[in-house]
Amino acid sequence: MVDSVEIPVITSEQLGAFHRAKGLKNAACLRCGNVSWSLLSSTEAPVSGLPTAKTEERAEVDLFTPILTLTCRNCGTLWFVAAQSVLDWLTETREQGASGDAG
Ligand SMILES: [Zn+2]
């Protein structure tokens, strides 16, 4: 039995801001060059999880890496982003009281 994990919602706007802040130079699909991605179906990004291998030390935990999944709207290539990286950045940004221009 595993407790559920609480993961805050990350919006597509927050993900975009994260990528801009990190200096993402190219958002084109590596396979087809398309620049249009969908983040599942809504403006709020649901977090999925990649299964993680268990070891003897952590055999009783269902381990997974929380991810955001973008899908190339042209060819379907998947682009995974570690949700924790975005959450860490959001926390740092809030702590710094960054002057946002949201809204
Ligand atoms: Zn593509």
Question: Is 58 domain-assigned?
Answer: yes
* pTM recorded for the entire structure: 0.74
Total tally of structural domains belonging to the chain: 1
Cα 71 to ligand 1 centre (Å): 8
Say if residue 1's pLDDT is above 50. Answer: no
Query: How many Å lie between the centroid of ligand 1 and the Cα of residue 69?
Result: 14
What is the residue whose two structure tokens read 């993402």? 24
> What is the whole-number distance in angstroms between the Cα of residue 38 and the centre of ligand 1?
11
pLDDT digits 0-9 by tens, 26-40: 999 999 999 999 886
Angle between helices 12-21 and 83-95 (to 10 degrees): 80
Across the chain, what does the average pLDDT equal?
A: 82
Contact 74, 36 (CB under 8 A): yes
Q: What pLDDT score was predicted for residue 63?
A: 75
* 44 is a domain residue: yes
Helix or strand or coil: residue 50?
Answer: strand
Joined together, the tokens standing for residue 17 give 């801001």
For residue 29, being part of any structural domain is answered with no
What residues make up the domain containing 70?
A: 36-94
The b-or-e profile of 32-43 (16+ CB within 10 A means b, else e) is eeeeebebeeee
Work out the pLDDT band at 56, boundaries 50, 70, 90: confident
